Structure 1
Amino acid sequence: MKKILLILAFLCCVITNSKAQVVGVDVGDIAPEIDLPNVKGENVSLSSLRGSLVLIDFWASWCGPCIKEQPLLLKLHNAYPDKLSIYGISMDTKKPLWTAAIAKGKLPWINVSDLKYWQSPAVADYKLQSVPLNFLVDKNGIILAKNIHGKALEDKVKSLLEVQ
């Protein structure tokens, strides 16, 4: 009888664990925490943005497709200022290049970087292989979509925010 109870308890744990949400980078996972300094050197954590839809945007000043997408991000930021937060993570290694790109693009959202390029913990946590890369995260920190750009990103954000 003890063996049967032990086996049942084990199976219960396995079933419960397999349905638990995990931290990861797949749709449905909890987005890994990021806590990096902004241009003023003050750390800003991703979790501080909970409560709104968040676009995590990995980019760099030298990345043409990243810069090309900034007008769309600006449009989304301006269309949903109280509902959408953008958390830009720069892969630049030189602060003057990073801050100049922010100024030139007039990027009003949170921009962070540890200026470590591929050695950043965020790179490993998000399995970054190239930029641009983004993750759309709901108000509870759950990844809703990843690596969507252009019209697909615009449509997804619109569908999520205009229903609320």
Structure 2
Amino acid sequence: MTDFSAPNPQGKIVSLKESLGKVTIVDFWASWCGPCRKENPNVVAIYKELHAKGLNIVGVSLDKEAKAWKEAIAKDGLVWTQVSHLKFWDEPIAIQYKVESIPATFILDQSGNIVAQDLRGDALKAKIIELLAK
């Protein structure tokens, strides 16, 4: 179990364990990361379609400034749980997951085990559908 706890934009401490769905994507991103922001609409679409079937997402941001982070969440319509220590590349969760570049995605099963990582677009959606069908 790769559990973690971190503050959400409102400052409340949230744990991965309480955010797990049938399938959970842990999505590492940042407001300043172009490729992350480009992928966000795709992730939003997958979430809208599959959240009711058991998909959850936890966004982990490598931002440094709360204002930029919150603005990006609002602008990109990221309605799922978001957490960050606002420590840039020193983000403890990124270190825990050995993230060296973003965007980075980890797909977790119901127990919190990593079953796939770094899928994008159609490949990401196909994997989620496959896992939800189990």
User: Which residue is equivalent to 1:71?
Assistant: 41
Other structure's SS at 1:39 match: coil
Q: What's the % identity of the aligned pairs?
A: 40
Distance 1:160 1:138 in 2: 8
Quick check: which has more Rg, 1 or 2? 1
Distance 1:45 1:114 in 2: 13
Residue 50 of structure 1 and its aligned partner are, at CA, apart by 3.2
Query: Which one of the candidate residues 42, 46, 49 is aligned to 2:19?
Result: 49
The normalised TM-score by structure 1 is 0.77
User: Which residue is equivalent to 2:106?
Assistant: 135
Distance 1:88 1:107 in 2: 9
Structure 2: give runs of 5+ residues left out of the alignment: none
The normalised TM-score by structure 2 is 0.94
| CA RMSD after TM alignment | 1.2
Query: Which one of the candidate residues 77, 88, 97 is aligned to 2:68?
Result: 97
Q: What is the one-letter code of the residue matched to 1:35? A: S
User: Which residue is equivalent to 1:117?
Assistant: 88
1:14-47 CA-partner distances (Å, limit 9, x unpaired)? xxxxxxxxxxxxxxxx3x2110100000011001
Contact 1:54 1:136 in 2 (8 A): yes
Contact 1:51 1:140 in 2 (8 A): no
Alignment length, in residue pairs? 133
Residue 49 of structure 1 and its aligned partner are, at CA, apart by 2.3
Contact 2:19 2:81 in 1 (8 A): no
